[in-house]
């Protein structure tokens, strides 16, 4: 017998391509190209764009132009431009750059925490306390991102209780939103539901987001599985740009065009114009000199070309 599941009527899509996507490009992407990409994306209707990352330029050289990018973009009313801030040095830079939301990023895996931010989970939370307080004092939104919530490239399995524990720590820091991230794209739909349901015991489900990389081709299925358990915020990257510098072999985020196409088919409102996103995808793919990874984006572009 078919069971009827009620899905959210509306979702928020956070475009992370300019940060999560481009941070992993080997070739330097000049600030003006990032600015043009972000402007094209904001004109498509995203309410939240992850535009910058104030981390060590020795660790992630591609993000070294973040201040220049934040200074050069057109600020569209109603759009929140987010920036990653691992510590107070990052926070100060994000504040000066006019970020509307700062992102503290921890991990549900001890091993990944060491590789990515050079400290343990507990140490990272202690570092984030200052950032969280500063965000509150300055009236900025605070988002917490939890890497390797479904599996880790170094330690393998990540226990549900550990994910829940990091969600609780992020909640206690005062996060407005918490990302449950599949950094290496290993999750499958049933596992996704288990993790999301466990996370929602620690933090209101309306503030949880799904951040899926598409390494094993499961990201869209995982988003659908997340919708079924009530998640209504998702991260995606135009043309599926990206990967993670500290997760070898991991591919980009789920492609924004594919997510928008699926949401439209499900009758779920995103407020985003897919055609403009396809154009933005063509723009960055042309710059990078390769075909984009979005199936829907490529199909729409091919149809247009006749
Ligand atoms: P550290 O070396 O342990 O820190 O790095 P430190 O405090 O000892 O500082 C060392 C040097 O870094 C100093 O410079 C600092 O000034 C500089 P030096 O004196 O050697 O010239 N430094 C900074 N420079 C600019 N901005 C800063 C900053 N902080 C210190 N904010 C740190 C610790 C966290 C900074 C470092 O490990 C780092 O930058 N790591 C990068 C991590 C990263 O960006 N990873 C990718 C993003 S996370 C991600 O993609 C996952 C996500 O998408 C979700 C998912 O999919 O899982 C969010
Ligand atoms: Mg990511």
Evaluate whether residue 5 is within a structural domain.
Answer: no
What pLDDT does 4 receive?
A: 57
**What's the pLDDT score for residue 5?**
75
How many C-beta neighbours within 10 Å does residue 155 have? 13
- CATH number of the domain bearing residue 192: 3.20.20.70
In a domain, 280, yes or no: yes
Residues noted as catalytic: 244
CA of 1 to the centre of ligand 2 (A): 37
The residue whose CA has the least distance to atom 31 of ligand 1 is 90
| Closest listed ligand to the CA of 86 | 1
Structure confidence at residue 250 (pLDDT): 74
Check residue 27 and give its pLDDT: 86
Q: How many domains does the chain have?
A: 1
Find residue 149's DSSP bridge partners.
Answer: none
For the Cβ of 56 lying below 6 angstroms from any atom of ligand 1, the answer is: yes
**Per-residue model confidence (pLDDT) at position 249:** 73
Whether residue 1 is contained in a domain is answered as: no
pLDDT at 251: 86
List the chain residues with pLDDT less than 50: none
Q: Is residue 229 part of a domain?
A: yes
CA of 266 to the centre of ligand 2 (A): 25
Helix axes 219-228, 256-266, angle to 10 degrees: 40
The reply to whether 3 falls in a domain is no
Q: What is the pLDDT of residue 297?
A: 98
Range of the domain at 118: 12-305
Q: Report CA(252)–ligand 1 centroid distance (Å).
A: 20
């Amino acid at each position: 017998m078919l069971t009827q599941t009620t899905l959210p009527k509306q979702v928020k899509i956070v475009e992370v391509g300019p940060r999560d996507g481009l941070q992993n490009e080997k070739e330097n992407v000049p600030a003006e190209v990032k600015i043009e990409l972000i402007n094209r994306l904001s004109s498509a209707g995203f309410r939240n764009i992850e535009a910058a990352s104030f981390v060590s330029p020795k660790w992630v050289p591609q993000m070294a132009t973040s201040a220049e990018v934040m200074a050069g973009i057109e600020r569209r009313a109603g759009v929140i431009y987010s920036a990653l801030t691992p510590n107070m040095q990052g926070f100060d830079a994000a504040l000066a750059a006019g970020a509307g939301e700062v992102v503290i990023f921890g991990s549900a895996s001890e091993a990944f925490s060491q590789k990515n931010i050079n400290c343990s989970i507990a140490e990272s939370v202690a570092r984030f306390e200052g950032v969280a307080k500063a965000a509150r004092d300055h009236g900025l939104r605070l988002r917490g991102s939890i890497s390797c919530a479904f599996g880790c490239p170094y330690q393998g399995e990540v226990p549900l209780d550990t994910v829940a524990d990091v969600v609780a720590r992020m909640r206690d820091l005062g996060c407005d939103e918490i990302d449950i991230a599949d950094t290496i794209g290993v999750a499958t739909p049933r596992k996704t539901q288990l993790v999301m349901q466990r996370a929602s015991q620690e933090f209101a489900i309306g503030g949880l987001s799904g951040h899926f990389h598409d390494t094993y081709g499961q990201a869209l299925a995982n988003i659908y599985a997340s919708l079924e358990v009530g998640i209504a915020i998702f991260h995606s990257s135009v043309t599926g740009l990206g990967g993670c510098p500290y997760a070898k072999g991991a591919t980009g985020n789920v492609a924004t065009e594919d997510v928008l196409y699926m949401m439209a088919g499900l009758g779920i409102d995103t407020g985003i114009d897919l055609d403009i996103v396809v154009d933005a995808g063509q723009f960055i793919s042309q710059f990078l000199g390769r075909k984009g990874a979005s199936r829907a984006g490529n199909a729409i572009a091919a149809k247009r070309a006749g």
